[in-house]
Amino acid sequence: ARIGEVTRKTKETDVKVSINLDGTGICRSNTGIPFLDHMLDQIASHGLFDVNVMAKGDLHIDDHHTNEDIALALGTALLQALGDRKGISRFGDFTAPLDEALVHVVLDLSGRPFLAYDMDIPTERVGTYDTQLVEHFFQSLVNTSGMTLHIRKLSGKNSHHIIEACFKAFARALRKATEYDERRMGSIPSSKGVLSRA
């Protein structure tokens, strides 16, 4: 089974994350940040991953540290679950609509962390969630997973719709990238013969 499990404990947060890349879309999350729980559910549901996230953080300050450490742990769990990446498709892309919003995500499980983020979110908050934390979530996830990730808003006026379309597109792109390519017959999808963070 392609499963990654990570515990991350600091003075600011206590985070436990697991991901099963060959799951059925089950999400169990309790982060203390309701909107983030909703977005983690999008990753699980649309990626068909089983995702478990339990987090306690210094939310009396703000959501920043908890949001960041969940993403760092999730990226590390993804890195574990991918292993040597033999046989995977490696690349994924998806464009997800949600009413007036349309977001395009392209990713490469290359071992090289890079984020290109072009998302104009019109409001500072959705509920209590600071919309600046969307970029920070994906930057943190990219840093630990070793993923190249491009996110671009094509249209949208409603902040909730834009962010949710982003997470849905990310989930579907990641699902494509982590699925097995039968023609590859278990080989590593790189002309170098290796995909790693090194």
Going by the DSSP 8-state scheme, the letter that residue 23 receives in this structure is S
pLDDT of residue 189: 72
The low-confidence residues of the chain, meaning pLDDT below 50, are: none
pLDDT of residue 182: 87
pLDDT of residue 196: 65
pLDDT of residue 197: 58
Q: The whole model's pTM is what?
A: 0.95
User: b/e map of 64-82 (b: 16 or more CB within 10 Å)?
Assistant: bbbbbbbbbbbbbbbbbbb
pLDDT of residue 33: 98
pLDDT of residue 194: 67
As assigned by CATH, the class of the 3-178 domain is: alpha beta
pLDDT of residue 193: 61
Structural domain boundaries in the chain = 3-178
Phi, then psi, of 43 in degrees rounded to 5: -60, -45
